[in-house]
Structure 1
């Protein structure tokens, strides 16, 4: 049994619309994309043996792996791939992985070539399309897909699901890859991280994700730690379209209020690396040359005074389903803001990922490892599915469009670093650090590997075994 914190009536089994940790764990065992991000955050084959671009990156040829079947025994076909692409990149309702793709895919030219080949046609070049097809939110589903009775190609198949409580899956013996070593996988929602740790200690669960850093030493006494360097981040999010954060001076002041080193030492117990309000630290185009922001209370006060916000008071929305890092960093930010005369009141929403998600003026969130272009597509462009800061900058969007079309890596890097400079100066994120991924297992569990991408070896529980 796997334990995860959070969960509500909004929980989902939809392959293309996961939000919180339990959703992500479920879809990574039920479904699979055409490619994988492996444990080292490198592209690897999955349902596709290969995806190759034309020289101008406007046409991509997908060669499907042979012998892959859905949980109902049906072969995976080009028609299923085309259906999945159209569902994810539907211009009227783009899903997470398809937010960018929906704007430049040529659906008329995207077609089946033969029983194992699909050609994807684009209106404009997209040099890193393979990055999108490796996202866990781009699982391939059958043409008659029903999220209420889900069928995928993963190592486990659906048995039952109670939103906010638990989901149960059975081993799929027809799986094309390494078959699961356990007969059944149960994913259990817990109210908070402390309840998770208690359940692990009591033997009620065998694995848990996102272990609170301050509880690592206690878990080591009875269990095992699974730890990895990642590009995962738990930002503060400021809506750039709403007062007071519509004034860039206020956004910059809030960034200068943040003591990033203290956040890492206390909220992460030192288990992380410094952030500079930019995501995607593993991306080869990451703008590491930009000056590192440090706490500067005097400058923050000056900016707030110039903006007419010397007595600023704001609510900070958070929730247990974001993870333990959110609560700890929120408390620290309240103390740090007080030094600049800013009153921050923490409002806990449970569930956080309910109807109000994406509407909060000032809040927190969590993101896992991604490269810059696919991350920006979902969180920093106007049509991004999770644009929580409501950032909408035409020059930035133009740079992203040019970068994704650029096949020359050096030129692409220049474009992306220019885009990052805009976010650095004008964006709505406070990205104070990147956390190490720390998960835990029972001492009886083996076969779970650390991953730079997602918790517990990308939640691939087919590799896990439990001794008696």
Structure 2
């Protein structure tokens, strides 16, 4: 973390010895992910087949939930910083962001020449408006939930036409992590969700929740102007229909390709993009509801899982072992904790001591989580039988409906994040997606201390202590990290891989369709 921290927090962002403002947009976007577009014809339409979606779909830049939501966000809006294809911080709408020595004041220098889709230049006022929206103390969004309690709105202000300062009541040494999230898109002060305007490579044309959305190339984009004229994002709740549409030429890209269909796509001439990621599809246990309010039951469920079998079958071998902890790319990842392995006898013993012999539980899953989830649920059901646990799998359609975050025992999907921003949204009482309802005061105190710590080694030590609490008492079963696998039609060039999000973080402005 020390080298990356020096790059992103203690100096101006530099690429190849030049500040972001001194290099061309093409070089910058290449550094931030994507290929040179390859050969192919400019113009035309690219249709992306997105996993999941429902009538709850949204165009809100700060509240995406499903994969189609995320794909829309990444093409309509942009944050101040980018996570690049190697999951490293790079400049985006901010030319530079520098902290004070105590990490309480952050100076943001905006890139010049950036305009919203309505032609209006991006100003410090727009950034301040966006910050206030995500960090609203009464209703913070996922990007702002960690920021809301500590931001000093009176001290957060415009300095000049291209500069602003973000003032904090307490230090936050990794603020750049938050400012780079796709959930922190910058929007204008007159933002209207019915006619959304951002700075991304595509502008809004139409949107039907649960079905499709259409975007047009933004010709005045500050970076590489899209090579295609139009981008359509089509929702698919059924993986087979999604792949059939790809093979029939009805869509040109598919995120989260089911692993068992890799050979089929390749056999019909399609391209398969594969890369390492920190993405995970956990089982979630509500720690505030029976039977999982008893930690012995939670630990028993973790010991039931044959993690390698999960990887071999649910991921077709394309993954790495999980140990009930997230953020494997973070330097603070607690890799020294003993790797959990299946131990059916110990699981039985724990269940007996908890008075939970012959346990029956419902496990909620859904196709819109992604193809990994239903297959992992079916496999867990079989593994649980060995410990005398009857798991009844219930498929919800949509999964991300009114019951989301209420399920006692369920699944979910998460993309790559570092530990502090991930914990902020999923493991703290205030987290917008605290699906396990975990609420541990000691854990929260460690996270608070860690995020204020400017010394990398000391921060990592605090985070490892926090992870030990989650390892011992948390509500997640994180059995593995999946490789990101996506499918692209043979006539499409320029779509890259990314450790952060599918299909080169859904940056379709590089794509060409021939």
Query: What secondary structure sits across from 1:167 in the alignment?
Result: strand
Instruction: Name the structure 2 match of 1:452.
Output: 499
CA–CA distance in structure 2, aligned partners of residues 106 and 319 of structure 1? 41
Q: 1:218 aligns with which of 264, 269, 284?
A: 264
Query: What secondary structure sits across from 2:148 in the alignment?
Result: helix
CA–CA distance in structure 2, aligned partners of residues 20 and 6 of structure 1? 7
Instruction: Name the structure 2 match of 1:109.
Output: 155
Once the two structures are TM-superposed, the CA of residue 191 in structure 1 deviates from its matched residue by 2.8
1:266 aligns with 2:333: no
Q: 1:322 aligns with which of 361, 364, 369?
A: 369
Instruction: Name the structure 1 match of 2:393.
Output: 346
Instruction: Name the structure 1 match of 2:40.
Output: none
Q: Could you report, residue by residue, the CA deviation over 1:62-92 in whole angstroms, capped at 9, with x for unpaired residues?
A: 0000000000000000000000000001111
Instruction: Name the structure 1 match of 2:113.
Output: 67
CA–CA distance in structure 1, aligned partners of residues 245 and 211 of structure 2? 15
CA–CA distance in structure 2, aligned partners of residues 462 and 65 of structure 1? 19
**RMSD across aligned C-alpha pairs, in angstroms?**
0.5
Instruction: Name the structure 1 match of 2:511.
Output: 464
Query: What secondary structure sits across from 1:63 in the alignment?
Result: strand
Query: What secondary structure sits across from 2:460 in the alignment?
Result: helix
Q: 2:282 aligns with which of 218, 235, 256?
A: 235
1:53 aligns with 2:99: yes
CA–CA distance in structure 1, aligned partners of residues 452 and 86 of structure 2? 26
Instruction: Name the structure 2 match of 1:138.
Output: 184
Once the two structures are TM-superposed, the CA of residue 408 in structure 1 deviates from its matched residue by 0.5
Query: What secondary structure sits across from 1:68 in the alignment?
Result: coil
Higher mean C-alpha deviation, range 362-371 or range 3-12 = 3-12
Once the two structures are TM-superposed, the CA of residue 5 in structure 1 deviates from its matched residue by 2.4
1:204 aligns with 2:242: no
1:37 aligns with 2:83: yes
1:87 aligns with 2:87: no
| Structure 2: runs of 5 or more not aligned | 1-46
Q: 1:299 aligns with which of 346, 350, 364?
A: 346
Query: What secondary structure sits across from 1:102 in the alignment?
Result: coil
Instruction: Name the structure 1 match of 2:327.
Output: 280
Once the two structures are TM-superposed, the CA of residue 425 in structure 1 deviates from its matched residue by 0.2
CA–CA distance in structure 2, aligned partners of residues 412 and 121 of structure 1? 21
Query: What secondary structure sits across from 2:158 in the alignment?
Result: strand
Once the two structures are TM-superposed, the CA of residue 47 in structure 1 deviates from its matched residue by 0.2
Query: What secondary structure sits across from 1:98 in the alignment?
Result: coil
Query: What secondary structure sits across from 2:225 in the alignment?
Result: coil
Q: Could you report, residue by residue, the CA deviation over 1:43-78 in whole angstroms, capped at 9, with x for unpaired residues?
A: 000000011000000000000000000000000000
Q: 2:429 aligns with which of 379, 382, 385?
A: 382
What is the TM-score when the length of structure 2 is the normalising length?
A: 0.91
Instruction: Name the structure 1 match of 2:454.
Output: 407
Instruction: Name the structure 1 match of 2:18.
Output: none
Once the two structures are TM-superposed, the CA of residue 8 in structure 1 deviates from its matched residue by 1.2
Q: How many residues are treated as equivalent by the alignment?
A: 467
CA–CA distance in structure 2, aligned partners of residues 235 and 278 of structure 1? 10
Instruction: Name the structure 2 match of 1:172.
Output: 218
Q: Could you report, residue by residue, the CA deviation over 1:290-346 in whole angstroms, capped at 9, with x for unpaired residues?
A: 000000000000000000000110000011110000011000000000100000001
CA–CA distance in structure 1, aligned partners of residues 96 and 299 of structure 2? 44
| Structure 1: runs of 5 or more not aligned | none
CA–CA distance in structure 2, aligned partners of residues 351 and 79 of structure 1? 38
Once the two structures are TM-superposed, the CA of residue 6 in structure 1 deviates from its matched residue by 1.7
Q: Could you report, residue by residue, the CA deviation over 1:101-149 in whole angstroms, capped at 9, with x for unpaired residues?
A: 1111111110000000010000000000000000000000000111121
Q: Which runs of 4+ in 1 moved over 3 A?
A: none
CA–CA distance in structure 2, aligned partners of residues 147 and 275 of structure 1? 39
